[in-house]
Every structure is written in structure tokens, then in C-alpha cells.
Amino acid sequence: MIINKELYKYIQKIIYNKEPNYLKNIRKKGYKNINKKDMSDLVQGRFLSLISKIKRPKNILEIGTLIGYSSLCLSEGLKKKGVLITIDNNKNSIKHAKKNINKTKYKNNIRIIYGNALEIIPKLKIKFDIVFIDADKKNYLNYFNLIINRISKNGIIIIDNVLWKGLIINKKKDKFTKIIDNFNKKLKKYNIENIIIPIRDGLNLIIKN
Ligand SMILES: C[S@@+](CC[C@H](N)C(=O)[O-])C[C@H]1O[C@@H](n2cnc3c(N)ncnc32)[C@H](O)[C@@H]1O
């Protein structure tokens, strides 16, 4: 959490974009061999939902499914026959995600793909209106390069963990902090506009020009 905990609690209270019960249940439940800290929280989930409702996307790509919480949040804005493709290379995560998603009205809109996103993305031949990058940090730049030409005009890219627990501003950075910092700085050369939003671990909200 980057911002003051009390302030974050206040933000949680003043959210009028109501979280559906199936999402509440996912947040409350325990999942075997799943680290819930890796999952989007309430505020981030409502943010993803809102962005999707503003954009009204036909196609969404999510890199990093975990148990399907963020997939379901992003699906809330999908057009009627819209599709969200979500990729994860962990069989246990996919198993839980399938169960969670199948309980909702989005079960026919969400396609879960098991495997390494680096190998799967080049095989997807559609353009995306929203891409959410939330998998292994060392590959963030690789993911970005794979998806940038698959984003529709004015399409949105959201990247998680870009402030890396606030460590990003430390003079002495560990390996992972350096990776994220280098990634953030490299985005300058692309034809994009962006703003970093200090929700949870920092989200980079990007629009492709
Ligand atoms: C931070 S979690 C995703 C959280 C989820 N988006 C949410 O907000 O609830 C990251 C996920 O990325 C997956 N992952 C890591 N490396 C991957 C890769 N190379 N290809 C596909 N998935 C990967 C992990 O298995 C993990 O489930």
C-alpha cells in the first residue's frame, strides 16, 4: 500500500460503484496455494471495472489471471458479445479462476488460456481495446512490445505494480525495483499518453495514440 492506510479506508468507503456479491465472495474465501496478496483488492477492482465501463470494450486481454477476480472486474464493461481473454501459466490458479468465473454471467464472455503469455500472445490475431498487464515483472517490457501493435486506436493499457511498494523512489534499488523502474522509463519512447495512479501498488494507465 503506497498511500496512508486511513486514507485508503476512506476511499474504500466512498466507492459508489458497488462490488457484485460474487466478487465479494472471492475476496473473502481462502484458496489453497494461492497468495491472496497477489490479487487485486476492492479499490483496484472497482477502478478496473470503471475504466472498462467508460471504454465499453469489445476485446480485452489480461496477462495474469490468478483466480479471476480482476478478469471479472474488467468484464463488467464489455459490450454484449465482448470477449475477455485471460492467460495464466499456473494450473492451480486456472482451476480456481474457472470455478469462480463459471458462477457468473460472464462465463461465456471470458476465455481462460493456460500457458506462457509470451508464447500465447503472438498467436492471438485480434486487436484489443483494453490490455491489463499483471504477470511476472521481468517480462513487462516483453509483454508491452508484444501487445502495443495489437491495441486498437485510443485503446487502453493498464499495468500493475509500477510503484513497487513505494520502493521505486529509493536511491538504492534491489533487482526487481530496478526492473520496474527501467520499464517505467522505457515507455517514454512509445507513442502513448499515461498517468500513474497510486492505487494499491501503483497502476500505469496508458492510452495508445
Ligand atoms: C499478480 S497475479 C495476477 C493477479 C490478477 N490479475 C488479479 O488482479 O487478481 C500474477 C499471475 O501471473 C501469472 N504468471 C506469471 N508469469 C506468467 C507467464 N509467463 N505467463 C502467464 N502467466 C504468468 C502467475 O501465475 C499469477 O497467477
The reply to whether the predicted model has a pTM over 0.95 is yes
Model pLDDT, residue 3: 84
Name the residue at shortest CA distance from atom 25 of ligand 1.
Answer: 90
Largest CA-CA distance found in the chain, in angstroms, rounded: 48
For ligand 1, pick from 65, 93, 123, 203 the residue to mutate: most ligand atoms within 8 Å of CB.
65
Q: Render pLDDT for 32-58 as a digit per residue (tens, 0 to 9).
A: 999 999 999 999 999 999 999 999 999
Q: Is the C-beta atom of 78 inside 6 A of ligand 1? A: no
Domain spans, the chain: 5-26+39-208
Q: Is the C-beta atom of 39 inside 6 A of ligand 1? A: yes
CB of 101 within 8 A of CB of 23?
no
Three-class secondary structure of residue 138 per DSSP: helix
CB of 151 within 8 A of CB of 191?
no
Sign of the C-alpha dihedral computed for residues 106, 207, 51 and 143 taken in this order: positive
Q: Render pLDDT for 14-32 as a digit per residue (tens, 0 to 9).
A: 999 999 999 999 999 999 9
Name the residue at shortest CA distance from atom 18 of ligand 1.
Answer: 116
Ligand 1 atom nearest to 62, measured from its CA: 6
Name the residue at shortest CA distance from atom 19 of ligand 1.
Answer: 116
Nearest to 133 by CA among 41, 206, 59: 206
Q: Does domain 5-26+39-208 correspond to CATH entry 3.40.50.150?
A: yes
CB of 206 within 8 A of CB of 194?
yes
Q: Render pLDDT for 138-156 as a digit per residue (tens, 0 to 9).
A: 999 999 999 999 999 999 9
